[in-house]
Amino acid sequence: MTEKPEDHKGFPHISWEEADRMAREQTATPPRADARLSPFLILLFVGLGVLLLIVLACGALIYPFHSSSESIALAKNKVDMFMRAMAAQEVEAAYTLLAPKAQEQIGIETLKEWASPPNDVLFRGYQRLELVQGEIGYHVGTLTGKVASLRAVVYYDDGTQGNLTAVLQWVDGDWAIYSVYVVVPPERFNH
């Protein structure tokens, strides 16, 4: 700073530019370290990001499958309960397993007919179901909401086998049967 002749009230006279420079020097912050990340840190963060994406993608793929297979097992159990109730001619118990829409369409009298000869061949001697295919989906139309479609082999105590197709609807937190179709071989009618 160069000395200037005294000016007003004993303060040296300086220009505005010089005063501005002096103010900047007094308030200047120390130089910052280089803010760039090292290539190692960049690679580490990218690697962790990719790993996180892989974990999330795997979870997104596995969870619906797990949830779906669990739902299919529950739907299969509901159909098994229906078949056992019909085989035991417990029509009222079987009727409670039906979805409200199915109850409106079928009625308990129809179920009583199904449990009586000759229709009872579909249920008489029922042993178990073996699931061939099960799918869970969401539908809008006749059935709205979560729906399960099952195809299974039906095993009877006389050694014969039939085929079953069922559609179930998720109603109030549980599976309810909307439709069941059972096809048996002709020899079942001879027993």
**b/e string for 68-92 if b means 16 or more Cβ within 10 A?**
eeebbeebbebbebbbbbbbebebe
- pLDDT per position as a tens digit, 78-91: 999 999 999 999 99
User: Looking at the chain, how many residues does it have?
Assistant: 191
Q: Where along the chain do its domains lie?
A: 39-190
pLDDT computed for residue 48 by the predictor: 76
Residues of the chain above pLDDT 90, percent = 52
- pLDDT per position as a tens digit, 150-166: 999 999 999 999 999 99
HSE-CB for 147 with a 13 A CA cutoff: 14
CATH of the domain spanning 39-190 = 3.10.450.50
- What's the CA gap between 186 and 54, in Å, rounded? 53
Q: Which segment of 9-13, 76-80, 158-162, 184-188 scores lowest on mean pLDDT?
A: 9-13
For the cut 60, the answer to whether the pLDDT of residue 34 exceeds it is: no
Q: Is 48 helix (H, G, I), strand (E, B) or coil?
A: helix
Mean pLDDT for 111-133 is: 93
DSSP per-residue codes, 149-168: EEEEEEEETTS-EEEEEEEE
The reported pTM is 0.64
